[in-house]
Structure 1
Amino acid sequence: MKQTSAVSRRLVLVGSASILASPAIIGRAAAALRGVSDSEIVIGTMADLSGVTAVQGVNNANGMRLGFDEANQRGGVHGRKIRWIVEDNEYIVPKAVQAMNKLLNRDNIFFAIGNGGTPHNDAVMPSMFEKNVPNVFPTTCARSMYEPFNRLKFGQFASYYDQMRAGVKYFVEQRGKKVIGSMYQDTDFGRDVHAGVVAQLKAMGLKLAAETAHRPTDTDFNAALARQHDAGCDLICAGTIVKDTTIILQTAHKMGWNVEFCGQFASYSTAVAEAPGEPAEGFYSMAPALYRYPDDPKPAVHAFAETYRKRFGIDPNYLGEAGYTAAGFSVAALEKAGRNLTLDSFIGALESMRDWQDIFGGPALSLSPTNHHASSQSFLSVVKNRRWTPVMEQPLMF
């Protein structure tokens, strides 16, 4: 799944600019605005292209690449082509800081989009904001992507916290679960997932039965699962991503323990559903939208999947769709901002986006001057025959 040519990929496409104002005025305005010239807009991304979450980072980057390519093929945005630069953060925080320093100081990006990883975003946002660089739709559902409110923060997805609160409520009220455990990565990401589990249990007058935390690189979960088993858990909420989710499910199967698991956005991956030996059969996951497989009957979805497969040699997963959506949304906002592009006009355009809809039938995305969180809807799916199947088409609430 690793795309070796994705690291430090640069798309430099130059086109003629349409003139809607005096060239001298436009030229002076563009010169004063980082990442924007008369002919291009520079956008940056740091993503995991070779680390433990590369199956997600590469797919997400591929989706953004298609979205920006399509915009450039249409002539760009008000005569400016998009130059998109992606750097590999390897899902390592120091690498993320290094990647963002390059994007900020060498590439002089106008804004960042799809930055991958919760702790990685948390680490780089201060340096971004010092230079007035917006962080648009990062590839994480952490609440810190839009809380506390910041003029330069824009979150795309329902938070891990909200996803798990909705999931726990469903399993307790609709599935009769009474003994809930939590297994999570001991990171900003994992703790955010865990916090949602604990908060919903408290709201329902229940207590967490068992809690285990692990490093993202851990591969032995025998002791952690034994602790969950000994507590009598009938549901385990998973603050895990792809590799650790798969190993945990494989380990539970080897133990002969058929307890149900519920993950979230980070585990809602075809790599989990299609893992060898089918350990994920019956695995549940919350997500901010529903993944549409390439054989979906919607013509637009089918066309996207065909283009994606021809371009990259693999089928898109949910993160590929999310990346394409993020690119499309940002292009729409740039178009609303107009030819006389400034940081203020771009932020104003983002804040004026209402009920924007992607081609996949995801939740309508809306922002405002007081709300930089585009959607709070969460959906539940389960793996059946190595495919993610919606438990219901409607979002769950808590």
Structure 2
Amino acid sequence: MNRLPLYAIFVIMFMALLACSSEQGEEPHDQITHGVTDTRIYIGSSLALTGHASFLGSQTLKGALSYINHINEKGGVHGRKIKIIAYDDGYDPPQCLANTQKLIIEDQVFSLFSYVGTPTTVKVLPLIAEARIPLVGIFSGANDFRVPFNRYIINVRASYYEETREAVKYFVEELGFDKIAVFYQYDAYGFDGLKGTELALKEYGLAPVARGSYTRGTLDIEEGLENIIHSGAQAVVMVGTYDACAKFIQISRRQGFNPVFHNVSFVGSEELARILGKEGDGVIVTQVVPPPDSLESQALLSGVQEFTERYRYYYPDEQPNLVALEGFINAKVLVEGLRRAGRNLNRERFIDAIESIQDFSLGIANTLSFSPDNHQGLSRVYFTVIRNGELTLLTDWAKIREMYVKEN
């Protein structure tokens, strides 16, 4: 007998609950102000606080709280303080679905916020559509959250397509490469990065010379690595998490296979650099925010300075990092939307307010803009490179070329 997937059962139960509410005489969705009291605005989040992606989830949350706690200490937004209700999903899609159902039905939050990961977040899209609840800031650049356009999804960061396009451009135009492979996590996240790389290569009349994958939550990279080594790839675009990608790079280099390694931003750059140590020299990571510990960023960008100060104030024992900075920026977008929506707050008015944001300064190199038909606020891609276990801004591709020529 065929059985429905667990996530499908959740969706059916959720819709039934909504139907029951409607039958009991609730007002239409756009007239209900869930999660808002005279003194509080309740915001819900599901993200990995334990497990192999816990660095990403915990730092996203801490970065966001660094700004929200500051706003609350100043009196909140229009006299209301923001309360984040965060549940751990361990980077597990069914658990993310269960958490989201609880946030919407039981906690009745005003908005969802700062979800982490493609395979987890993509499962809650039907709930978001049915409840017509905003989701602000996803730690994912997946195209599923951008196409087709969804009024209730507010993306802040650049997409994986933009990251892989920029990487391929530099590999082909700056380094003269024509043999580029892809190593990816075998799920929605990895497939999106793979497709983005394929589309970028197609613009140059190229295709991946090899593809290798691993299963989410494992470190089983050997088969994928073998496929790519035999291809003679000059560069490898990597779409995974820090533990699996670090193992791939370590084994590659110990076997004498030294292409240019490129990781997309979701990898967890600081953890990747920490695990690799000196073996990480020359590994490239594209970013959607500037690295907070870069001297160039701190000297030139007021938003990076502000984040560093707030983060160190609330978390003095931790090091400011890229993931937390992205959470901090997500929180700035959330707060700006709440401010513009005014005291008479509801979900539709909040989204209208977000759409009114144009050329808004976050104190980083590019401004934030939304519109009624564009819900991705930022599009700039930064390049960083690992040197001596630390990330620095990459501005000189000649050094990468010299390293590649020297090692090959």
Deviations along 1:204-237, one digit per CA (max 9) or x if unpaired, are: 0112210112112232323322221111111111
Correspondence for 1:69: 69
1:36 aligns with 2:36: yes
Check conservation: 1:294, 1:301, Cα contact below 8 A: no
Counterpart amino acid of 1:204? Answer: Y
Q: Distance in 1 between matches of 2:377 and 2:349?
A: 19
Correspondence for 1:384: 387
Q: Distance in 1 between matches of 2:277 and 2:372?
A: 49
Correspondence for 2:342: 338
After superposition, the CA RMSD in angstroms is: 2.0
Check conservation: 1:238, 1:261, Cα contact below 8 A: yes
Correspondence for 1:23: none
Q: Distance in 1 between matches of 2:72 and 2:81?
A: 6
Check conservation: 1:282, 1:384, Cα contact below 8 A: yes
Counterpart amino acid of 1:91? Answer: Y
C-alpha displacement of 1:294: 7.4
SS at match of 1:279: helix
Q: Distance in 1 between matches of 2:278 and 2:205?
A: 35
Q: Distance in 2 between matches of 1:300 and 1:166?
A: 24
C-alpha displacement of 1:32: 3.5
In the superposition, the TM-score normalised over structure 1's length comes to 0.87
**Pairwise mapping of residues 170-189 of structure 1 onto structure 2 (< 5 A)?**
170-189=170-189
- Would you tell me which structure has more helix in proportion to its own residues? 2
Check conservation: 2:294, 2:393, Cα contact below 8 A: no
Correspondence for 2:330: 326
Q: Distance in 2 between matches of 1:100 and 1:190?
A: 23
C-alpha displacement of 1:305: 2.6
Distance 1:205 1:249, change over 3 A: same
Correspondence for 1:147: 147
**Between Structure 1 and Structure 2, how many residues are aligned?**
364
SS at match of 2:362: coil
Q: Distance in 2 between matches of 1:144 and 1:160?
A: 11
Correspondence for 2:126: 126
Counterpart amino acid of 1:328? Answer: K
C-alpha displacement of 1:73: 0.9
Correspondence for 2:361: 357
Counterpart amino acid of 2:114? Answer: G
Q: Distance in 1 between matches of 2:339 and 2:384?
A: 35
C-alpha displacement of 1:142: 0.8
Check conservation: 1:60, 1:319, Cα contact below 8 A: yes
Deviations along 1:13-47, one digit per CA (max 9) or x if unpaired, are: xxxxxxxxxxxxxxxx9994111112211111111
Q: Distance in 1 between matches of 2:218 and 2:53?
A: 14
Check conservation: 1:294, 1:305, Cα contact below 8 A: no
SS at match of 2:372: coil
Counterpart amino acid of 1:55? Answer: F
Counterpart amino acid of 1:130? Answer: E
In the superposition, the TM-score normalised over structure 2's length comes to 0.85
Q: Distance in 1 between matches of 2:283 and 2:114?
A: 27
C-alpha displacement of 1:350: 0.2
Q: Distance in 1 between matches of 2:276 and 2:158?
A: 30
Correspondence for 2:209: 209
SS at match of 2:201: helix
SS at match of 2:383: strand
Structure 1 runs not aligned, ≥5 long: 1-28, 394-398
1:293 aligns with 2:296: no
Correspondence for 2:10: none
Deviations along 1:245-284, one digit per CA (max 9) or x if unpaired, are: 1111111122122111111111251111122543221101
Distance 1:234 1:300, change over 3 A: closer
SS at match of 2:162: helix
Question: For 2:370, which of 367, 380, 389 is the aligned residue?
Answer: 367
Correspondence for 2:158: 158
Distance 1:378 1:95, change over 3 A: same
Correspondence for 1:17: none
Counterpart amino acid of 1:241? Answer: T
Check conservation: 2:358, 2:370, Cα contact below 8 A: yes
1:271 aligns with 2:271: yes
Check conservation: 2:288, 2:382, Cα contact below 8 A: yes
Counterpart amino acid of 2:233? Answer: C
SS at match of 1:273: helix
C-alpha displacement of 1:129: 2.3
Deviations along 1:310-368, one digit per CA (max 9) or x if unpaired, are: 53321121010011111011101111111111222111110001122224x14211100
Q: Distance in 1 between matches of 2:302 and 2:168?
A: 35
Counterpart amino acid of 2:238? Answer: A
C-alpha displacement of 1:290: 1.7
Correspondence for 2:403: none
Distance 1:279 1:216, change over 3 A: farther
Structure 2 runs not aligned, ≥5 long: 1-28, 397-408
Distance 1:232 1:338, change over 3 A: same
C-alpha displacement of 1:303: 5.5
Distance 1:149 1:57, change over 3 A: same
1:109 aligns with 2:109: yes
Distance 1:222 1:343, change over 3 A: closer
Q: Kindly, what percent of the aligned residue pairs are identical?
A: 29
C-alpha displacement of 1:80: 1.1
Distance 1:178 1:299, change over 3 A: closer
Q: Distance in 2 between matches of 1:186 and 1:301?
A: 34
Check conservation: 1:45, 1:87, Cα contact below 8 A: yes
Q: Distance in 2 between matches of 1:154 and 1:363?
A: 18
Distance 1:347 1:181, change over 3 A: same
